[in-house]
Amino acid sequence: MVSFAWHSQHIYSLKLAFITSYAPPILGGGMLIEHDIKTQLCEFSQKLGLVTPQRNNKSNKIRKVEQIIAFLEVIHSQVRKYSHKRELVFVDSGAGNCYLSFIVYYYYHYVVQRPVRIHCIDINEALMNKNRDFAESIGFVQMHFHTADIEQYTHNGPIDVAYSLHACDIATDKAMLLGLRNNAKHILSVSCCQHSVKGKMQSYVSTRGLTKHSVIKDRLLYMVLDSMRALLLEMRSYDVDVIEFVSTRATDKNLMIRAHKKQLVNADAIFGQYKHLRSAYNLRPYLEGKLVELGLVSSFDQTSN
């Protein structure tokens, strides 16, 4: 007779296989993190309380692990060629429970075995204290937790990757701003809700058929707003693309803005593209206002001569 313990573990193994079998299309087919390592990361997620080797795992937690591992794979694709002799520095904005950063730290510290330091920022003091206590209990000594508004956080020193996963509303813009102000080598951002601009989007008469239905309008809002954010990053000399970092089976919010610092930029062309979207949809991302305020981009309200 098959025991309950064996049955539960077998179900858990099937769930691990489900998570680790997906190869993100954005990496060109080849897996940067091997299957057995992904299984190891899934097992570490038990320690975080994301999944357990029991039957009561919620599907949303399984999907969360899938998102995190896919996000980690994108991070690794950006930094894997950097010298292993130096410390990697990451900043996680709107970190919440810090599940992503705990798994990122575990991967680089124990699997890759290279120096890594991660700063996690969130306005929720109770969560930051809880995460700090947990990190200390498992010896993650180079994880640092800051209770602060992202915009008020001051970072000293270089940043390799500034990232955020489903930071709410303008927290996404603040995370990008943090990366820009600190000249982060890479900025990775996956947006979540867009409440602050949701009711403000308008469109040309010729395209109003696209915004007639709320479900389509919401999806269009995500696409336009992320396109505008990407253009703002380009204006600050970042090479940017927008990718599907994970399958839609894991989350419908699966678009990632992936940016890395470069030197040259065709600012005039990008400026014009941005102004066109701004005018066409009547959208003003929070990031735009802050960049103009800081003098990092010119005002878009100035009338051309």
Reported as a single tens digit per residue, the pLDDT across 250-265 is 888 899 999 999 977 7
Helices 59-79 and 99-106: crossing angle, nearest 10°? Answer: 50
Lowest mean pLDDT among 23-37, 98-112, 221-235: 23-37
Greatest mean pLDDT among 56-60, 272-276, 297-301: 272-276
Cβ neighbours, 10 Å, residue 110: 12
User: Would residue 245 count as lying in a domain?
Assistant: yes
**Strands 116-122 and 88-93: what pairing?**
parallel
| Backbone φ and ψ of 255, nearest 5° | -90, 125
Band (63; pLDDT cuts 50, 70, 90): confident
Identify whether the C-beta of residue 227 lies closer than 8 Å to the C-beta of residue 204.
Answer: no
Which region among 163-167, 193-197, 235-239 has the lowest average model confidence (pLDDT)?
A: 193-197
Number of structural domains found in the chain: 1
Predicted local confidence at residue 260, as pLDDT: 97
Could you write out the DSSP letters of every residue in 104-152?
A: HHHIIIIII---EEEEEEES-HHHHHHHHHHHHHTT-TTEEEEES-GGG
154 compared with 266, residue with greater pLDDT: 154
Q: Is residue 129 part of a domain?
A: yes
pLDDT at 183: 96
Residue 302 domain-assigned (yes or no): no
The span from the CA of 126 to the CA of 88, in Å, is 27
| 305 falls within a domain | no
H-helix or E-strand containing 223? Answer: helix 214-235
Q: What is the chain's mean pLDDT, rounded?
A: 85
**Between the ranges 26-35, 54-63, 194-203, 215-224, where is the mean pLDDT highest?**
215-224
Q: Other C-beta atoms within 10 Å of 285: how many? A: 24
Domain that holds residue 197: 4-293
Q: What secondary structure letter does DSSP report for 210?
A: G
Q: Could you tell me if residue 219 is inside a domain?
A: yes
Q: Please check whether residue 300 lies inside any domain of the structure.
A: no
Give CA–CA dist 277/176, Å, rounded: 19
Q: Which amino acid is at 138?
A: I
Q: Are 145 and 128 in contact (CB under 8 A)?
A: yes
Q: Which residues does 62 contact at the CB level (< 8 Å), separation at least 6?
A: 15, 18, 19, 51
Q: What average pLDDT does range 236-248 have in this prediction?
A: 94
pLDDT, one tens digit per residue, over 27-61 is 444 468 898 999 999 999 988 988 665 555 567 77
Query: Residue 24 has what pLDDT?
Result: 46
Residue 43 near residue 17 (C-beta atoms within 8 A): no
Provide the terminal-to-terminal Cα distance of the chain, rounded to the nearest Å.
84
Residue 301 is assigned to a structural domain of this protein: no
Question: Residue 154 CA to chain centroid, in angstroms?
Answer: 20
Residue 60: the pLDDT is 74
Average pLDDT, stretch 272-276?
A: 94
Q: What is the CATH number of the domain that holds 204?
A: 3.40.50.150
Q: Which of 30-34, 202-206, 234-238 has the lowest mean pLDDT?
A: 202-206
Bridge partners for 260 per DSSP: 186, 239
Q: How confident is the model at residue 269 (pLDDT cuts 50, 70, 90)?
A: confident
Among the residue ranges 42-56, 84-98, 101-115, 157-171, the one predicted with the least confidence is 42-56
